Amino acid sequence: MSGKLKIAVLGLGEAGSHFANDLTNLGVVVFGFDPKPIHQLNAAITVKYSNSEAVQEADIIFSANLSSVSEEIAEELVKVLKPNQFFCEMNTSGPEKKQKIASILEPSGVKMIDLAIMAPVPPKGIMTPLLASGEFATEFSEKIKSLNLDISVLENSKIGDAATRKLLRSIIYKGIAAVVCEAMEAGEAFGMETYIRSQIGSLIGGNDELIDRFVEGSRTHAIRRMHEMEAVIEMLDAKGIESIVTQGTRNNLEKLSLMSSK
């Protein structure tokens, strides 16, 4: 066991549970913590009683928590993290929050990585494309190289650079999904679903499966994606950019979340 890579996964929600299970299947020793775990976990995962306890033996920490609690968790962990550990902040938030977390953790000497999840976690799990930035991004990539994960490193980058690219990408992908959802809803209401599908298909290559994926993905992950777009709005506001379309995307996701909860 001592020779195996040890990884702590903090936050065992949809993404974190997939990561933890997949890492176990790759032969990694996995520790985990979530205050309210609801997803099925591999029996080999050692679930601890706190974030602090989960990270103590880890070589690498994947923090896949909600952005809303990320600073609080950093405050908790700064007392126990060590300079030889890699702390990967994976929450969906803007660059300023990632930098704030780095400043909170700095006294520990831990090697922080801004690790952005660049696509939906299901179905690829831990093989989902990841983008790493920060002073220690290359060193982290070498540390985890044996697992053959899909990690791209931004050379000569700083904390927040990966987060910025993820959120800029979200403006496009989540915005397109919002337009598709609204167009499909309108097409169904007017009894012209076939027509509206053909119009959408003329722009995205006539791919019915992709249309359905846009719609179902937006509905299934509405709350998480709504928070993601709120992070985009915050980032754009900081640059003085009026986020008219992105706010519409955020509002559409809120509508979908309310519909799903009924």
- Residue-wise pLDDT for 112-164, tens only, equals 999 999 998 988 999 999 999 999 999 999 999 999 999 999 999 999 999 99
Give, in order, the Cα–Cα distances in Å from 29 to each of 8, 46, 63, 232.
Answer: 8, 8, 16, 35
Which domains, from first to last, does the chain contain? 6-159 (3.40.50.720), 164-257 (1.10.1040.10)
Instruction: Report, as an integer, the average pLDDT of 60-66.
Output: 95
The predicted-structure confidence for 166-201, as pLDDT tens digits, reads as follows 999 999 999 999 999 999 999 999 999 999 999 999
Residue 259: band (very low, low, confident or very high) from pLDDT cuts 50, 70, 90: confident
Full-model pTM: 0.91
Q: Is the pLDDT of residue 260 over 80?
A: no
Q: Is the per-residue pLDDT at 46 higher than 80? A: yes
Each residue of 3-37: pLDDT tens digit? 799 999 999 999 999 999 999 999 999 999 999 98
Q: What is the pLDDT of residue 37?
A: 87
Q: Cβ contacts of residue 46 below 8 Å, gap of 6+?
A: 29, 30, 31, 32
pLDDT of 1 > 50? The answer is no
Per-residue confidence band for 204, with pLDDT thresholds at 50, 70 and 90? confident
